[in-house]
Every structure is written in C-alpha cells, then in structure tokens.
Chain A
Amino acid sequence: MTTSTERITPPPASPDPRVHAEARPRREWGVVPWLGVAIPGRQSIRVWQRNRDVFLQLWKAEFVPPLLEPLIMFAALGLGLGTYVQLTGDVEYIQFLGPGVIAMFSMFAAVFEALWGAYFRLDKQGTYAAILATPTRPEEITAGEILWAASRGALNAAMIMLVMLALTPAYDLVSSPLALLTVPVAFLAGLSFGALGQAYVSQARSVSQLTYFFSLLVMPMFWFSGGFFPLDEFPAWASTAAWFTPLYHAVEVNRALVTGNVGWSDLGHLAWLVIVVPPLVWLALWTMRRRIVG
C-alpha cells in the first residue's frame, strides 16, 4: 500500500498515435460524417429479439385486441353502416372496407409500438440505457425498434387476413391469392410508421405529447386515406394531401392485391412506399441518436 498520496501519473498519449491521429476526423462510434449517423449492424436484430421475447411473454394480452378490433369494424361498418351505402359497381361496402382495414390496423400496431412502447423503453423503463451499455450503438436500438414496429404491423395484417379468409365464404372478402402479399406490404409501410414514430418519440418529453402524434397525424390518415370511402368526391387538395401519407398508398396496394385487379399504378404506390423508407429511417436514426447520446 502506498503511504503517501500520489498524484495520478499521466498515461502515455496513445498506444498507437498514428491510428489515433488518422481516425480523428469524426468517425467516432462509427458515425459516417456525411450522414451524421452510424450504419446499424446486426445488433439491431438483437434489439428486435428483445422486443419479440417480451411480446411472446405477454402474448395472451397482445393477441386478442388485434383480432377483436377488426372484427368489430367489419360488423359495425361492413354489416351495419355498410348496408346503407351504395357504391358504384356491384361492390358491397364490406368488400370495399377489407383492404383498408388491413392497412389501418397494421398502422395502429406499428405506431403504438413505435410511440408508447418505445417511449416507455426510452424514458421510463431504462431499457435503452441498459442496451446501450452492451456493444450496441444508439442507431441499432432505433433500427431494431423500427424493424419491430414493422413486424407488429405485419403480424396484425396476417391476423386480419385470417379473419377475412374466415369471412370470405359468407361475404366474399378476398378474391385473389395475391391478398396474402398484404402482409409484406404491411411490413413495408410499418417501416415508415415505425421510423416516423421513433423520430417523434425522440422529441417527446412526456407521455401526453405522444397523443398529438396520434391526433394530428394518425387519426387523419386513418379517416382520409381512402380506406373508408374513395377520395374522388373530395376537392383535389384532399387527395393531394392523402398522396403524401404512407397509409394511402398501402390502402391502394392492398385493394389491388385483395381484389386481384393489379395495374401499373399499383407499382407506383409500391415504389412510393419503398422510396420514403430511407429518408424516414435516416430521420429517426439521427434524431434518436441526439436524444440518446445527448
């Protein structure tokens, strides 16, 4: 044991000063300078797996609402209100409703996960802090969360598809095997919803602020994306506004897949859904990195 107080000896500058000096141009923690974020790696999958494990732990509570809510909507709007609705052509309202229900409820699943779930993990449960202490970068937490939100969306779509297939003998809801592709479409759209949710959560300072995202963005999308009624009768600006939302394009693609009337315009909708993913994911990575790292 030392008997006098020592001034801690200054350590040598660096084990390899050359590497140190070269790498200084801000590649800190893998951040790509022109992107401002690091490219997420496979740790994202482990974050995804953590969420999956929690979900499976709670599956009994998590499985029922996604089945029940669309059923209620089919009953209330499809069979109730729908009997008073006269659409052009010989399409029943419940048939018109189906593709929208898939898109809307998988949006809800993704948004709930990316908003409330993520906010609690970030701010209340300390989950992000715990993960960050492991060899996981902030960007990989965000990427894992977005992937998980999209997965929840896809899972919801699959469950609704099962409900629709069960109802098809009675109400003729599904008329093409292409309808199964609505599940990957839900995943694709879920990436956008998840990224938007993460970006918003990165700015949120309280749970109540999350409600704004829901009221100002999600609910208008829900009602005005062509899932409940065609947008043709609205002024042009309304359908223009709808064009900028992911949900509108998801509804359109789903409608084509469920009915089997697939055209070139649907490829456009699909392209829209693909193209917006990188910028939205970047936005989420960048904003969330600033929130987590400070």
Chain B
Amino acid sequence: MSAIIQATGLVRTFGDFRAVDGIDLAVEPGEVFGMLGPNGAGKTSTIRMISCVLPITAGSLFVDGLDVRLHDREVKQRIGVASQDDSLDEDLTVAKNLAVYARYYGVPRDVARARITEGLELMQLADRRDSRIDELSGGMKRRLVLARALMNDPRLLVLDEPTTGLDPQARHLVWRKVRLLRERGVTILLTTHYMDEAEQLCDRLMIMDHGRQLAAGSPRALIEQHAGRDVMEVHPTEPDRAAVLAYLANAIGESGRIEEIEDVVYVFGAKEEQAHAVEAIVRDPYRVHFRRANLEDVFLTLTGRALVE
C-alpha cells in the first residue's frame, strides 16, 4: 500500500525566509503521524501545503498519490482539516455550520444529515445541535471543528495544534476523540508543540525546527536513540556548579551526555547511583531530578533549546 502523504525535498519560502526547508515525509495509511516542533518550526506551513491552501515552492508533494500542484480539488476532497483558529460561522447554528461545510464537498443532503447527527454524537455535541457558536466553550468549538473536518468522510485528517489553548480536561477529551478516530482507521497528521500530546497520540513523529526535519521515528525509538533511558536534571547553586560538572565529566564517560542549558545541567543516559552522588555534592535533593527520558529531552539534545519557551 502506498503512502498517503509523500513529500520529497519540500520547500516553502516567504521572501527570503525559508519556512519549510527541504522536508522528506512519508505517512502510511492508518497511522497517527505527528509533527513536533516549536512555533515557527514550519509545521503549519507544511500542513497548509498538504491541504492545498499554500502553493509549494519546490520539491514534490503527493497526497493519496495525487500531485498537490495539479489536483488541488481532488486532494481537498479527500482531506479533512481542523485548523488551529476555529473559523466557525458565528452566525450559524452548530448543525448549520456542518451542513454548510458538507455542501462545499458536494455531499448529498440526506448523507450530510446522517453525518451531522453521527459527527455531533461522536464529538459529544448532540445536545448542542441548535446552539449558537458563541454559546460553546473552547473545547466544544474544537470538537465541532473536528466534526466539521469529518463531513467529507476523509481518508486523511489533518489537525493543526488540536489542543492549543484548551484546559487540561478539554485536552484529554480531544485526545480521546483522536484515538477513537484512529481506531476507526482514519489516517491522522497532526502538529503540536506539546511533547506529551505527541507521546500520547502519535505512532510516529517528526521533530522539526527552523523548517528542517531533525529526526523521525516512533516516540520510543526517538527517546532511546537521542536521550537514553533516564535523564538527570541538576539545578546547582553557583558555588556548587564547578564541583558538579567535574564529578559528572569524570563519572559519565561514554555512557551518557552532558548538556548545560541555561542554568540547568542535563545528563542524558544517566544512572541512578550518579544521581545520588550529585545529591551528595549539592546537599539538596530538590536540586536533582532523576527521571525517565521524554520527547522534550530529545528536542533538547537535538537543538540545545526547550520546546516550549
């Protein structure tokens, strides 16, 4: 089976600025593929090119085997897009928003009616059918945008930062819906700058920065390869810093990596007994954290910067 999205050397520039700077991408049917990176990494530009609302500058991009340059209509017909800004029609009711959207896809009216009912139930909005948009909470709006993106029964669902700006409870509900859709066999491409979201939802992901792809793979593989199993985070006081670094330089050797980022010392691939030793140096257990590595650490090791400032 061929990939749903295939990009080779994909480039998008705005004047001199290279928003997307040569990306290779292959998303397989049925997977949840994530693009993780800070703001300005080129995630949104990439998905806007995939959804045929932004022309590509160079490279090639195929969606479901179709060249996005030539088959914009057909590609759009097969994709559902949930953008980060809600862009709902404030003047129309919840159900009417979906009906108007289904019409753009040429969905027959009776099919649309059934899909609206189904979509609202799926997104737990059935009792909001006749509400006005400004009566909905942020989480409800986001779920309605998801329901809207399903009106054309898409082969590929594109979610641009699906939970940005939502409170934790609303986020978890959106995550549950995304997993539900994956179980139904929908291929999902999502962008996020939350590493927990990427870990929770994605089968595979690509870490991006400055329009480039830094690494790609399953979350677990990325963590093991780039951050090791465990991480030690040390927040030493200024007088202790030299002693801590001296100890680490000696103790870690080939088994791990030391990075100083701002005033924090990270040891990737650390061992627990090393953490105890550092605790003895700084004489304060709260200044030493020993924990499992995560995607944030992967990003840190790759860029030397935190994912979310």
Q: Which of A4, A20, A132 has the most CB of B within 10 A?
A: A132
Partner-binding segment picked from A53-61, A78-86, A91-99, A100-108: A53-61
Residues on the B chain within 8 Å of A43, using CB: 104
Q: Are A136 and B70 within 8 A (Cβ)? A: no
Q: Are A4 and B217 within 8 A (Cβ)? A: yes
Classify chain A's interface size. 35 or more
Give A158 to B92 CA distance when docked, in angstroms.
26
Residues on the A chain within 8 Å of B3, using CB: 11
Q: Are B215 and A133 within 8 A (Cβ)? A: no
The residue of chain B having its C-beta at the shortest distance from the C-beta of A9 within the complex is: B26
Give A207 to B226 CA distance when docked, in angstroms.
49
Q: Are B60 and A133 within 8 A (Cβ)? A: no
Give A167 to B180 CA distance when docked, in angstroms.
64
Residues on the A chain within 8 Å of B200, using CB: none
Distance to closest chain B CB from A126 (angstroms): 3
Q: A294 near B: Cβ within 8 Å?
A: yes
Residues on the B chain within 8 Å of A132, using CB: 53
Which residues of chain A in 107-141 are interfacial with respect to chain B, using CB atoms and an 8 Å cutoff? Answer: 125-127, 129-137
Q: A5 near B: Cβ within 8 Å?
A: yes
Distance to closest chain A CB from B79 (angstroms): 8
**A3-19 near B? 1/0 per residue, CB < 8 Å:** 11111111111110001
Q: Which of B14, B70, B85 has the most CB of A within 10 A?
A: B70
Q: Are B55 and A29 within 8 A (Cβ)? A: yes
Q: Are A130 and B76 within 8 A (Cβ)? A: no
Q: B67 near A: Cβ within 8 Å?
A: yes
Which residues of chain B in 29-76 are interfacial with respect to chain A, using CB atoms and an 8 Å cutoff? Answer: 51-55, 60, 62, 65, 67, 69-70, 72-74, 76
Q: B101 near A: Cβ within 8 Å?
A: yes
Residues on the A chain within 8 Å of B25, using CB: 8
Q: A64 near B: Cβ within 8 Å?
A: no
Q: A35 near B: Cβ within 8 Å?
A: no
Q: Are A1 and B220 within 8 A (Cβ)? A: yes
Give A3 to B204 CA distance when docked, in angstroms.
12
A–B pairs, 8, beta carbons within 8 Å: A6-B216, A6-B217, A14-B62, A43-B104, A125-B87, A129-B85, A134-B76, A136-B104
